[in-house]
Structure 1
Amino acid sequence: MVVCGEDGLAHRLAAELRGVYGERVTLVVPPNERTARPPVVGRARAASAALFDRVVNAAVGSVGRGGGGAPTPGVGGAADPRRDGDLVWEATEPTEAVLAEAGVERATALALVYDDDETNIRAALIARRLNPGLRLVLRLYNRRLGQHIEELLDQVATLADRDGAGADASTTVLSDADTAAPALAATAVAGTSKVVQTEGLLLRAVERPPAVSGPAVPAGLCTLALLSAPGTDPASDGPAGNGSDGNGEQEPRLLPDDEEVRRAGGRAAIVLEQVSSAGGPESAAPARGVGGVPLASLFSRRLRWSLAGSVGCVIALAVALWLVTGTHPLRAFYLTLLDLFAIDDPAIGQSLGRQILQLLSGLVGLLLLPVLLAAVLEALGTFRTASALRRPPRGLGGHVVLLGLGKIGTRVLTRLRELGVPVVCVESDPEARGLAVARRLRVPVVLGDVTQEGVLESAKIHRAHALLAVTSSDTTNLEAALYARTVRPDLRVVLRLYDDDFATAVYRTLRAAYPLALTRSRSVTHLAAPAFAGAMLGRQVMGAIAVERRVLLFAAVDVAGHPQLEGRTVREAFRAGSWRVLALEGRTDTAPGHVLTRGDRVVVAATRRGLAELR
């Protein structure tokens, strides 16, 4: 398998393919990656560590700056230097010569994970021509464009497969931002569901406290994971699938069986809350405040009370005129309006009560004029600034302060608004891509450097529910978290940190310093790489949810060719700690006794190793 990229996702993906799935990997990176320190992409797995040892050694003998290259003799053997498949090729961009030298013509799958959409698309078109049967995985931020590119490349592969060989030349377009955003948003908001959605299927997972887990879990809900026992460090990374890290501390247990759930006293659980049909990828709950300008935002609270008082006075005067003169109620209201607007109809020669009411009506009319003028001016000003960024309103509380409106921050903001969570954004770049989304969703934004004094205070951090720092700078995220903790020691903090080792150290230190506060660190590459790896293996990975520092994958798998699934019932196909069948595509109910046949396509929740075993 070939992985082409320029950042930590490429390294993490290469380690995932080699260490978890045992695949041979060729990594194509820019030339400066050889001298720079590779990002730390995981905890000590012997296989992934060996991969980086081999690829760094291989890089010493590889060339190809700006074009193609070939390993020198002695790296992997003179006869076939790609014998082990674990090589690093250096190239400034994935040109046709580079892809050919990297072995794309003989590869099973190619992942293009550059940060630039155009680079990935151009390389995908070249790769599809070099190898029509190649399995392609693209990293694209533009989702609509990604759908069109996926259809185009699949059509090319279908036309090229004229002999009906049936090669798995699929094309999968993924976004690391879309994969990581649900987990980041769910971590920041206690009690919200973790959602994985694709095509017509909606999977909803929710965390339940210890009192509801175990035997008390409602019927029909399956337990996806048991969380760490209270007092256990969820940042530790022991062997996957074990219930202890060797020191007696319980770790999160993914996909436990019923007996484990019954014996899991005192441990919270993540359970499947709903598997139902959805109206498509955009059928999630709509964000509030998206359409139109609400009436309440046109006029201030004080002005609305003034208008209401004036209307009440007019009604009272009309009723008084009706009672004093005996005039028909509609005529009394009409005469009151004439008096109110000083239209010449003096009550000369009429009763004293009528004359007094006319004078009072004229006085109320004089008082009403400045109120009407203020309403017109305020409404015009509101419409004029409707496209401008909103400021955090007074008295706002219980919201999430979101730092950074880049690719990840924009997706997280959209997810939070779909969940109905109030958000205040902080962004230093006035040209950030997420500002347009914040303006459309009418989300308050504070423009300023979060490291400067007073910026977080403007975002009402002292009354916030959580701080979600997802800027591209680790030091900025850490500084903001530390400053926010000085303002609110019990504030829930979620950090996006690039380096896993650094994230673990920060988590443990903050937990020790603030034992009563919740701190979580998340790496986007850590959350996204399993989905990209699963897609390279030919499975439609629908999404992933974070279970503390582990990842649970959701994938659609064809039953045909899988002896672990074919001919078995849904209950028999379950393997604790590896995978669980959640539903059949196209059906909203899946009975445990249903027998899986060759034509079925099932949705499974699986660990990374479990998904590899399904091969």
Structure 2
Amino acid sequence: MVVCGDDGLAHRLAAELRGVYGEQVTLVVPPDVRIARPPVVGRARAASAALLDRVVSAAVGRANGSGGNGGAAVAGEGPRGERVLEAEEATEAVLAEAGVDRAAALALVYDDDETNIRAALTARRLNPRLRLVLRLYNRRLGQHIEELLDQAAALAIGDPDGGASDASTIVLSDADTAAPALAATALAGTGKVVQTDGLVLRAVERPPGAVPRQDAGRGLCTLALLSTNPSGPDLVEGVGEQRPQLLPDDEEVRAAGERGVLVLEQVSSAADAASPAGRGAGVGGGVVPALSSLFSRRLRWSLAGLVGCVVALAVALSVVTGMHPVRAFYYTLLDMFAIDNPAIGQSLGRQILQLLSGLMGLLLLPVLLAAVLEALGTFRTGSALRKPPRGLSGHVVLLGLGKIGTRVLTRLRELHVPVVCVESDPDARGLAVARRLRVPVVFGDVTQEGVLEAAKIHRAQALLAVTSADTTNLEAVLYARAVRPDLKAVLRLYDDDFATAVYRTLRAAHPRAITRSRSVSYLAAPSFAGAMLGRQILGAIPVGRKVLLVAALDVAGHPQLEGRSVEGAFRAGAWRVLAIEGRQGVAAGEYVLRGGDRVVVAATRRGLAELSGRVPPTHPPDSLS
């Protein structure tokens, strides 16, 4: 396997392939270690603790009011035993040095789409039978690139139909993989959604004591037991705490006690999966503003009052003159619009009502003018960024509108969750999306005083910090906690050791507040690794700093599954069959799996490696239960 990249995802992916699947890996990274740094697994925790102390001191102080070589050079072996090449770009010479012509799969996970496409075209020419996995942010372009590279491979091999070759091109996006998990983490009662063959499954957290059961055909089953720490069940456990337990058996679920559970439920349709979540009225909408957003509340009340006066005058005219109500309403409008029909020689009541109608007509003119001006102003500023409304509450404050933040914003709006974004870069790629979705944006450095206050952090339900800088995310959470100690905070943190130090410190300082950490590269790496091995990874469900994979597998060739019932194919802590493609609902326990079936399984990283035959099983096939 060959992995080329310039950020943390490349190192995570190489570690995943070698550590979990036992593959031989060649890693191609830039020579500048500041650009591509390996996962912090063996780095001394003292360094992370020291960095945390410095950031905490700075943030608390503010909260209290204070101020082109294209050649490759063999650099030896990496920390996990992979072969490492240092090169600025994946040129033809570099790919040849990495052994692409002999490799089974190549992953191109550079942060730039153009770099990945250029390298993919070169690699396909060097090895038409190579399985290619590309990281592309542009999804539409990715579909065209898949078709182009697959067609080129089929023609080079001499198989126009593409049926006799294992060569394939798979385009993935780390942003698309991680965004649903990040959005679900920030919201209570919202879980990771997985779709396959018309079946929609959702993983949601339940409080302690909520043991799942088969209910109303939704097919609930337990995916994990969470940590025993009620304030932060998903990060790092301290003394006396129990770590999250993936895929427990029935006895372990019954003995869960006060532990929270992560359960799987079947959703009837995709629309149900995107049901509204969060409190408060939604902010934003489609491209065309709603009618209520065209006019201010004061103007709407003025219009309503005038309409009421017109109706009252029409009723009074009908009573005084005995006129039909429709005719009375017509005469009232004539009087309001000063259409010449004076009530000379008529009764005093009719004359008084005509004078009142004329007066209401004079009052109506400025109101109509104000309505026109407000509507024009609303459409004129429809393409401009909005500011947070005064009465906004129950929203999510999203920090960062880069690649990850943009996808998270889109996911939150699909769930009809009110969002306020904070961004310091006026050229950030997510600003166009925020403008299109009419989401309020606050410009400024989140570490400066007043920025989070402008985003209404004191009335928010959660803070979601997803910038690429760990220290910036931490600093924002510390400042927000100084404003509101019980705020739910979700951080994007790359280093495992740093996340450990952060969690323990924040838990000690704010024991009742929920703090959660997610690593984008850790969530995305299993999907990329599965694609390199030819496996279809449908999703990754985060359970603390661990991850549970949902994959589609053919039963044929898997002795752990074939000829066994769904219940008998289950192995605690390794894998569980969730559904059988082509059959409605979650898989029934008595159904016997046949060679022609294709199943959806939830598995740990090690469990999926055993099912794939990449590592020897920890239990013989005949001892599975």
The CA deviation at 1:526 is: 1.5
Distance 1:11 1:392, change over 3 A: same
The CA deviation at 1:502 is: 1.2
Does the CA-based 8 Å contact 1:226-1:256 persist in structure 2? yes
The CA deviation at 1:202 is: 2.5
Match of 1:51 in 2: none
Does the CA-based 8 Å contact 1:40-1:501 persist in structure 2? no
Match of 1:564 in 2: 560
Does the CA-based 8 Å contact 2:8-2:36 persist in structure 1? no
Q: Which runs of structure 2 are paired with 1:192-207 in the superposition (5 Å)?
A: 192-197=190-195, 200-207=198-205
Match of 1:345 in 2: 341
Match of 2:602 in 1: 605
2:335 equivalent to 1:335: no
Match of 1:229 in 2: 228
Match of 2:279 in 1: none
For residues 227 and 581 of structure 1, what CA distance do their matches in structure 2 show?
A: 20
For residues 151 and 70 of structure 1, what CA distance do their matches in structure 2 show?
A: 34
The residue type paired with residue 193 of structure 2 is V
For residues 230 and 343 of structure 2, what CA distance do their matches in structure 1 show?
A: 84
Does the CA-based 8 Å contact 2:555-2:597 persist in structure 1? yes
Match of 1:40 in 2: 39
Give 1:427's match in structure 2, choosing from 415, 419, 423.
Answer: 423
Of 179-188 and 195-204, deviating more is 195-204
For residues 517 and 477 of structure 1, what CA distance do their matches in structure 2 show?
A: 17
Q: Which runs of structure 2 are paired with 1:245-324 in the superposition (5 Å)?
A: 249-274=241-266, 278=270, 289-324=285-320
For residues 103 and 385 of structure 1, what CA distance do their matches in structure 2 show?
A: 55
Does the CA-based 8 Å contact 1:530-1:553 persist in structure 2? yes
TM-score by length of 2: 0.87
TM-score by length of 1: 0.88
Q: Which runs of structure 2 are paired with 1:124-203 in the superposition (5 Å)?
A: 124-162=120-158, 166-197=164-195, 200-203=198-201
- Partner deviation per Cα, 1:127-149 (whole Å, 9 max, x = no partner): 12222222211111111111222
Paired residue secondary structure (1:88):
strand
The CA deviation at 1:591 is: 2.6
The CA deviation at 1:613 is: 0.3
The CA deviation at 1:586 is: 3.3
Distance 1:162 1:565, change over 3 A: farther
The residue type paired with residue 607 of structure 1 is T
Does the CA-based 8 Å contact 2:189-2:205 persist in structure 1? yes
Match of 2:590 in 1: 593
Distance 1:320 1:430, change over 3 A: same
After superposition, the CA RMSD in angstroms is 2.7
Structure with bigger RCO (C-alpha 8 Å, 6+ apart): 2
Aligned residue pair count:
578
2:70 equivalent to 1:66: yes
For residues 320 and 383 of structure 2, what CA distance do their matches in structure 1 show?
A: 51
- Partner deviation per Cα, 1:57-101 (whole Å, 9 max, x = no partner): xxxxxxx95124567xxx69xxxxx9x982111111111111111
Give 1:114's match in structure 2, choosing from 110, 117, 120.
Answer: 110
Give 2:97's match in structure 1, choosing from 98, 101, 110.
Answer: 101
The residue type paired with residue 255 of structure 1 is L
Give 1:462's match in structure 2, choosing from 433, 436, 458.
Answer: 458
Match of 2:24 in 1: 24
The residue type paired with residue 26 of structure 1 is T
For residues 159 and 130 of structure 1, what CA distance do their matches in structure 2 show?
A: 14
For residues 560 and 231 of structure 1, what CA distance do their matches in structure 2 show?
A: 42
Match of 2:518 in 1: 522
The CA deviation at 1:203 is: 2.3
- Partner deviation per Cα, 1:291-316 (whole Å, 9 max, x = no partner): 42111011111111110110111111
Paired residue secondary structure (2:70):
coil
For residues 153 and 200 of structure 2, what CA distance do their matches in structure 1 show?
A: 29
Does the CA-based 8 Å contact 2:197-2:582 persist in structure 1? no
Does the CA-based 8 Å contact 2:21-2:609 persist in structure 1? yes
Q: Which runs of structure 2 are paired with 1:537-576 in the superposition (5 Å)?
A: 537-576=533-572
The residue type paired with residue 141 of structure 1 is Y
Does the CA-based 8 Å contact 1:9-1:113 persist in structure 2? yes
The residue type paired with residue 381 of structure 1 is G
Of 396-405 and 591-600, deviating more is 591-600
Paired residue secondary structure (1:541):
strand
Paired residue secondary structure (2:314):
helix
For residues 36 and 404 of structure 1, what CA distance do their matches in structure 2 show?
A: 20
- Partner deviation per Cα, 1:258-278 (whole Å, 9 max, x = no partner): 121112111111111116665
The CA deviation at 1:594 is: 2.2
Does the CA-based 8 Å contact 1:193-1:205 persist in structure 2? yes
For residues 283 and 224 of structure 1, what CA distance do their matches in structure 2 show?
A: 18
Distance 1:319 1:234, change over 3 A: closer
Distance 1:200 1:217, change over 3 A: closer
2:19 equivalent to 1:15: no
